[in-house]
Each structure stands twice: as C-alpha cells, then as structure tokens.
Chain A
C-alpha cells in the first residue's frame, strides 16, 4: 500500500482493533464447530466400544453331544432339528411352539435358533467392551480360564447380519432385532402416510388461501406451539384417542380383521404410526410453510400475469419449487419420529414380542423401545446388544435420509 498517502491516526488504531475482534470471533466460531465434532465422535466411539469385544459363553449342554450320526447340529436339516426339539422338549412346550407357528411354516434358521435357545441354552458368562478387550486381553483370558473353565472366549462384534435378521429373544446370544426393525419401518410408513399429505395440505392452505384474520393467526400460533410440545404429551393423546376411543379402528375390528390370538387391543402399528404422525405434523406444516413462502413472488406474478388461476399457480409453480424444501423438512421430522421412544411407551409398544408385525393391526416394538429395554437390563451383555442396535438405528436413519435427499435432488434438477 502506498504509505505516502497520510491516513487518519484513528483509522490506523481502529484497523488493528477491528481485525483483532474479527480474529477472536473466528476462533470462537471454529471452536464451536470443533466441540460439536468432538461430541459426535465421542458418541460414535462409545457405541462402537460397546458393540465389539470379548465374550465368554457356555452352553448348558455341549452342542457336540447333540450330533446325529456324527453330523453336528449346524449341518442338520430342518426336519432333523424339529425331531431333536420334539425329543428334548416336554410335549407341552413343543405343542405350545407348534401352536404359535406350526413348524412346517418356520424356516430352518428359525428352528436352529430354537434348538440353541431351548436345548443348548447358550449363556453369556461375561463380556468386555472393545477398549478392555484390546488393552487387557491377557487378564481377560486368565479370568475366564479361572472362573469359567468350560466357557468359550471369543472376540466378536455383536452387530452381525444374524443379529439384524433374528427375531427378539431373551437370550443375548440368540437375540436379534428383526422384530424391532420391521416395527420401526411399519410405524414410520404410517407416520409418513398420515403426516406428509396432511402437513403439506395444511401448509398450502395457510400460505395460499387463509386470509390474515384473528382466527387464522390463532391457528398459526397454535401450530407453532404444538411443534414444541413434549413428545410424551402426544403419547397421552395417542393413548386416549387412537388406542382407547378408536380401538375398533386401530385394532382392525371394524374392517372385520382381527389377527388370530391378537391381544393388541388397539396398541397396534397403526395407533403408533398415527400418534407419531400427530407428533411430526406441526413440524412438517411449519417447514412446508417456510418452503412455500420462499418461492419468489416474481414466479407467482408470472403465473398470475398470464391468467393462471390460484390452483394452477400453486400446483404448477409453487409446489414444484417448494418441494425440495418441503422434503428437507419432512426428512427432519421423520428422523425425529424414528428416534421417538416416550410416546410409544405410553401408546403401548410391546416390550417382548418375537413375532414380526405383519399388518397395520399387529402388535409391535420399535428400535428405540428395544434399545431402551436392553439398556435397562442389569446384565452387561444386553448393553452390548443395545450398542449394536443403536448402530442399526443410525444406519436406518442414514438410509432413509439418503433416499429422501436423492428424491429431493431429483426435484431440484428440473431446471
């Protein structure tokens, strides 16, 4: 810079101070970001730490003794395994299983799992998290050899493909989360089916049609407040309306559809989906309104200016242009719904069921409920299962978000 041109002395002094305060704010903003990232990494590490590690387990019965003509049970056919169950279980227990689901309809892996659960009865004696397993493996091996001489010690990841595909079980080794994953998917399906059309419809009405009068202002204020109501309150509402009052509807009775042996009494996938739908409805409305409001006035003018009606303008221009924003808002809302636990506890999610939801009128459990259940158990091994389930929940969330983002990008690409 040409220093020969004199500047005001105040300017020179001020310039340093101005640059300094800018630098300080820069550091503050950067540290906020770093704190956020550290928190995220810590959370992920904590979950992974819980989901992998040494486990010591032993069966009440040595599986080797169940071998048939030298064929170990892992390689036996379904029929052989069923015969084994019939032989080893009491006839009462066997008939009960047969009554729940006839063996003819069960797959081989389900029967194999029953064998492990009911006959071999593998028990986890002790387990360690990833950090302990890596740093103290000698000690762990010594402890196991001393305390559980018959037990097998294995370094495992609790998150396996079997874990995702197996139904729930009371034994940690054979427990899976298929029931909970399917329950979550069913529930979220109904949440989206209810909340998306109603939410977008309400947003269109409020933005495009409602006049600015006291009544509509009250509605708007209430929607804004509803978005901040604690989720458990929606649980109470869902219990009162969907489970109790509308029981004939949510249990499927008025459709003449009652699942055999169902004890749901309205505590069904449908009731949960509707409850979560109510929960996210205000969020979807508000986000959609924002997106609709962001459509430039010039575009509306262009449409009205060539003599389009209001509906033609909304349908052909406002909605397509607002759709990316509406979808982003819906993604956020649905992500919240997937992670909700409290309202579902109130609505009556089942805590221990081992059959998959098969219709809107099925009893259900969801991933967050399952995780909550497992973390509440005193045994360490269930906490490892919870950690593995959290990973599944995260993957499920990311998958849903990614598909919604792909959908959104498809909309945005139209010029």
Chain B
C-alpha cells in the first residue's frame, strides 16, 4: 500500500475460532480480521469449512442442529455470541446472500417490503423498494413488473433481488456464500460489478470457489484448507491482501492451489 492508513477499522474479528458440528471440529484456529468497506474473499477446496466459517459470522450456523463454537467472533468489538446478544439482531446487522438464489415466493415488491416490515419499517415503502433495487442494479429491469413473482426472474436477476433484499434493511456487513456459482458468466460479472459498488457502503465477505473471481473482486483473501494433522479440520492457512496471495504467497500450499497445481 502506498498510503499509510492509521485508522483502519476492523468490523469482524475472530479469535482462536473453532466451529463444531456435534463433536466433529469442522473449523479450527481461525484468526482473521475483516476490514470495513473492503471485500474479503474466503477461498479453498470443497469441504474445508468456508461456508461454515461464513455462516458463523451472523450465527446462521445455529439453524443447523448441534453446531457450537469455541473462541470468539467480535462485531465492532462486541462478542456476537455473548449470552445477551439476540441472533436476530446479529442477522439484522450482518446480512447474507446465499449460493442458490432464494427470493421469497412473493412479488418482487413484497420481497423487499416484507423484509423491511418485519423490522418495523414505517417510512415510504415505495421509495425504499426503488432505492434498494437501484442499489442492486436491478431497478431498470424490473420497474414495470414489481408485482410479479420474484421467482419469475432469471437466476442472475433473482440473485440481485436477494442482494436488494439484504441491503433494504441497511446492514453493515453482507456475507455472500458463493453468490455467483449458480450463474452464467455474464450474470456473474454483473454481481462482481455490483460488489464493487456496494463496498462503498458495506463491508463484504464472500466465499468463492472461483479463484479468478477472488483475484478480480476482493481486497483481502483468506486461504482455507484442511489441516493435515489427522483431525481434518479446516483452517485459514494464509490471510493477506489479495494480490499478495495470488502473486507472492508465503505458504507453499496456497501457491499450489492458486496456480492450479493442487492435489
């Protein structure tokens, strides 16, 4: 970096994080910091716990029976797993976009209106719907059919509707779990462009299988891999600025993976 940023703010931090499914330790020893208004990518081979780690950031893990964590995840310095923290509030402030586009089986308008309404939104709903769809670069495509089903849209449009829905409640962080893996290259490109727009207002953490995507779109990259010591738990083996991960990785395994020489 050329400028020295003395006021770097970390929105999410993990401290010796371990994630369990029952007694199985799926993720171990994760220490990473997510910087504000940056895109942080998590890459790694299948089954190394990328999505598990991502879901831990807004306590979506808890919806799967038997999951638990050890260690700490802080959001603006506050432990999100503390006893007095309601997971609903965590998910309200840390939104999520999923791998498979999952708009509600309601109209495009209602997808956003319902989301805003459950949190007690009392303002001008039409304005909110329009501004959310504009931010998600979807407004021009759907403004004439707001009352059609969200499921009538194409896959890429559905995913942008999901992003519009997520940002309609103004979260601070948006977690994206392979948001483009079910989309064609053009729709993928749109999502990536959109992420660059969104990062001005939001902090983004994205899990991706696609290394080019991580290289193109992210500022920081966390490389995850199964630790080789018999436990088979996933861990972050290297976390750095994206261009360093892809050009001068410190870890041999990272180098093998990003250059396609892995396994």
A residues lining the B interface (CB < 8 Å): 212, 296, 298-309, 312, 316-317, 321, 414-415
Q: How many A-B contacts at CB < 8 Å in the complex? A: 67
- With A312-B118, A415-B107 already in contact, the answer to whether A306 and B165 are too (CB < 8 A) is yes
- Complex contact B88–A307 (CB within 8 A): yes
- With A305-B98, A307-B92 already in contact, the answer to whether A300 and B103 are too (CB < 8 A) is no
Question: What residues of chain A lie closer than 8 Å to B60, measured between beta carbons?
Answer: 301, 304-305
B residues lining the A interface (CB < 8 Å): 58, 60, 63, 65, 88-89, 91-92, 95-98, 100, 102-107, 114-115, 118-119, 149-151, 162, 165-166, 169
- Complex contact B88–A309 (CB within 8 A): yes
Question: What residues of chain A lie closer than 8 Å to B169, measured between beta carbons?
Answer: 306-307
A414 to B89, CA, bound (A): 30
Chain B: which residue is nearest A297 at the CB level?
A: B63
Question: When the two chains form the complex, which single residue of A299, A308, A414 contacts B118, counting CB atoms closer than 8 Å?
Answer: A308
A305 to B96, CA, bound (A): 6
- Complex contact A307–B89 (CB within 8 A): yes
- Complex contact B102–A307 (CB within 8 A): no
Question: What residues of chain A lie closer than 8 Å to B115, measured between beta carbons?
Answer: 306, 308
- With A212-B65, A307-B118 already in contact, the answer to whether A302 and B89 are too (CB < 8 A) is no
Question: What residues of chain A lie closer than 8 Å to B165, measured between beta carbons?
Answer: 302, 306
Question: When the two chains form the complex, which single residue of A300, A307, A415 contacts B151, counting CB atoms closer than 8 Å?
Answer: A415
What are 26 A-B contacts defined by CB distance under 8 Å? A298-B98, A298-B102, A299-B105, A301-B96, A302-B103, A302-B104, A302-B165, A304-B60, A305-B96, A305-B166, A306-B95, A306-B96, A306-B115, A306-B118, A306-B169, A307-B89, A307-B91, A307-B95, A307-B118, A308-B118, A309-B88, A312-B118, A316-B118, A317-B104, A414-B106, A415-B107
A302 to B96, CA, bound (A): 8
- With A302-B104, A304-B63, A307-B169 already in contact, the answer to whether A316 and B114 are too (CB < 8 A) is yes
A307 to B174, CA, bound (A): 12
Question: When the two chains form the complex, which single residue of A301, A317, A414 contacts B98, counting CB atoms closer than 8 Å?
Answer: A301
Minimum Cβ distance to chain A for residue B210 (Å): 21
- Complex contact A414–B114 (CB within 8 A): no
Question: What residues of chain A lie closer than 8 Å to B89, measured between beta carbons?
Answer: 307
Question: What residues of chain B lie closer than 8 Å to A296, measured between beta carbons?
Answer: 102
Chain A: which residue is nearest B119 at the CB level?
A: A307
Chain A: which residue is nearest B151 at the CB level?
A: A415
Chain A: which residue is nearest B101 at the CB level?
A: A298
Question: When the two chains form the complex, which single residue of A298, A306, A316, A415 contacts B149, counting CB atoms closer than 8 Å?
Answer: A415
- Complex contact A306–B166 (CB within 8 A): yes
A306 to B89, CA, bound (A): 10
A51 to B88, CA, bound (A): 64
A19 to B114, CA, bound (A): 54
A308 to B119, CA, bound (A): 8
Question: What residues of chain B lie closer than 8 Å to A302, measured between beta carbons?
Answer: 98, 102-104, 162, 165
- Complex contact A303–B104 (CB within 8 A): yes
Question: What residues of chain B lie closer than 8 Å to A300, measured between beta carbons?
Answer: 63
Question: When the two chains form the complex, which single residue of B63, B102, B119 contacts A299, counting CB atoms closer than 8 Å?
Answer: B102
A317 to B103, CA, bound (A): 11
A321 to B104, CA, bound (A): 10
A304 to B92, CA, bound (A): 9
- Complex contact A304–B91 (CB within 8 A): yes
Question: What residues of chain B lie closer than 8 Å to A316, measured between beta carbons?
Answer: 114, 118
- Complex contact B95–A305 (CB within 8 A): yes
Question: What residues of chain A lie closer than 8 Å to B107, measured between beta carbons?
Answer: 415
Minimum Cβ distance to chain A for residue B174 (Å): 10
Question: What residues of chain B lie closer than 8 Å to A321, measured between beta carbons?
Answer: 105
Beyond A307-B169, A415-B106, 13 additional contacts (C-beta under 8 Å) are A298-B100, A301-B60, A301-B63, A302-B102, A303-B104, A306-B96, A306-B118, A306-B165, A307-B118, A308-B118, A321-B105, A415-B105, A415-B149
Question: What residues of chain A lie closer than 8 Å to B150, measured between beta carbons?
Answer: 415
- Complex contact A306–B102 (CB within 8 A): no
Minimum Cβ distance to chain B for residue A368 (Å): 40
Q: Which among B58, B97, B115, B162 has the greatest number of chain A C-beta atoms within 10 A?
A: B115
Question: What residues of chain B lie closer than 8 Å to A301, measured between beta carbons?
Answer: 60, 63, 96, 98, 102
A304 to B106, CA, bound (A): 16
Minimum Cβ distance to chain A for residue B67 (Å): 13
Minimum Cβ distance to chain B for residue A174 (Å): 56
A139 to B113, CA, bound (A): 78
A212 to B58, CA, bound (A): 23
Question: What residues of chain A lie closer than 8 Å to B151, measured between beta carbons?
Answer: 415
Minimum Cβ distance to chain B for residue A298 (Å): 4
Chain B: which residue is nearest A305 at the CB level?
A: B96
